Amino acid sequence: MTVPSAYQRLTARFALIATIGECASMLGWDAAAVMPPGSGAARGDQLAVLAVLGHERLVAPDVAADLAVAETSDEWQAANLRLMRHAYARAKALPADLVEAQAKANSNCEKVWRIARKNADFRMVQPHLAEVLRLTREAAAALSDALGLSPYDALMDGYQHGIGADDVAPVFTAYEDFLTATLPEVEAYQARQPQAVLPAGPFPIGLQEAFCRDLAQRLGLDFDHARLDQSAHPFSGGTPTDVRITTRYVEDDVTSAILAVVHETGHALYERGLPSAYARQPVGEAAGMAVHESQSLIVEMQACRSDAFLGWMGGHLHATFGGSAEPYHLENLGRLWRRVERGFIRVDADELTYPAHVILRFRLEQAMIAGDLAVADLPGAWNDGLHALLGITPPDDAQGCLQDIHWYDGAFGYFPSYTLGAMSAAQLMRAARQQVSGIDDALGRGDLSPLLAWLRIHVHGIGSRLDLDTILEQATGSKLDPVAFQAHLRQRYLS
């Protein structure tokens, strides 16, 4: 019998760890989509056990021994080995009791947050968030020592490897300057346009569900390997062969459900397009959350809110929901779904003001991790920061610092990925249009396949073999270029 090599033993080990992670992902989907509210404590225990099991198998002594001697000349295997070593370094920095404590605290805080947000009562969740932050800062310090990064950069590294606060801060400062100059121009331009006409509801939930499922399928989602369900906060989860996306429906407005579905379908298409030959291996995973967000936003913002696609979408909506055809005409639908407006809620924000919401969170979470902002002072700092960026102040904490799940679930360092993804999406779409003829003609038929085929080659099929900048450089000819995003915004909203 042939003795497995060190690399082969590692691939078997990482496949097991990935499978444990898949189990946790499914329990997370269940908690958000169908779990009864009284099951939160038990679910926290279950997720903590899985977190510890995965951690223990990653930091086992035989993993270190194999990593020390494993070698390969294959490009994909070499990238896989590099990512394995990085994953080991992160895991080894964190003691098992801290991993378990974080899993329990995050799960507990997230459950309390749901109630606190509903009641607009930050004080209800404040002590739980304080505990999450305490443990996150402890983990960040340990990771900082192990990786040679600042504590905040060590957290960012867990979501988008290779990009730190010093890379992001000047990009965000430049965008803030762009927004300050451009937002009043766009508002004045919009004020000169005809008033948008709202489609008349109600929009029966059953019809919305059928429409959204058909739309996701038309965009390329294979429902032999996917589900569409409801949740309080739309998300994409599951595994590459069992993708779970969710949306939320309201009977008097069809917009939120549809736009959430196209966004989450973008995430799901990326997962479905990852290299199956390296399934359950680090190199076969997504190349980070900024790349993931670029794939949701290239579908939602770049493709499905384009003139071409909206022209098709309007007719499809009218055929489904009936009523007057006028609200579904391209010009009116564009004014409805591409309206720029200063608002309190990030997930409802237009693509021009959305980065302001991310910049706010980026600055606040840096301050919390550094110890410069106490949890008790978060609501006031949030309100002051949003007013400085957009000139508006939330009327309550549900529309302020309670609106996002991320911090209450322990996800510090994630938010920059949203705007890095939006900028990357604009750059990728510009390159796709230059390299593939007929993309907009196909979008005018509700057909994403030419764009999706290009993305399968230039993004999806690469997995984690390359980092964000290298993916962009190979696909578009340059590393991340925020100018492409700004040009897209000016073309869409000022012409």
Chain segment 241-258, per-residue pLDDT in tens:
999 999 999 999 999 899
Whether 228 has a pLDDT exceeding 80, the answer reads yes
Residue 257 within any structural domain of the chain: no
Locus of tokens 């090599």: 5
Q: Average pLDDT of the chain? A: 96
**Number of structural domains the chain divides into:** 1
Phi, psi of 479 (to 5 degrees): -70, -175
| Predicted TM-score (pTM) of this structure | 0.94
Establish if 464 belongs to a structural domain.
Answer: no
Residue 229, H or E segment: strand 226-230
136 located within any domain: yes
Q: Is residue 489 part of a domain?
A: no
Interval 410-428: pLDDT, tens: 999 999 999 999 999 999 9
Residue 373 lies in a domain: no
The verdict on residue 341 lying in a domain is no
| Percentage, residues of the chain above pLDDT 90 | 94
Q: Which domain holds residue 88?
A: 6-151
Q: What is the DSSP letter of 298?
A: I
Alpha-carbon distance of 483 to 292, in angstroms, equals 20
Residue 1 has pLDDT above 70, yes or no: no
pLDDT tens by residue, 486-495:
999 999 999 8
| pLDDT higher than threshold 90 for residue 40 | no
Domain membership of residue 368 (yes or no) is no
CA distance 491 to 495: 6
Q: Is the peptide bond before 202 cis (omega within 30 degrees of 0)?
A: yes
Record the tokens describing residue 321, joined without a space.
């929901």
The pLDDT score that the predictor gives to residue 347 is 87
CB 248 within 8 A of CB 256: yes
Q: Does residue 241 lie in a domain region?
A: no
Residue where the block lists tokens 């100059």: 181
At 393-412, the pLDDT tens digits run 999 999 999 999 999 999 99
Active site residues: 264
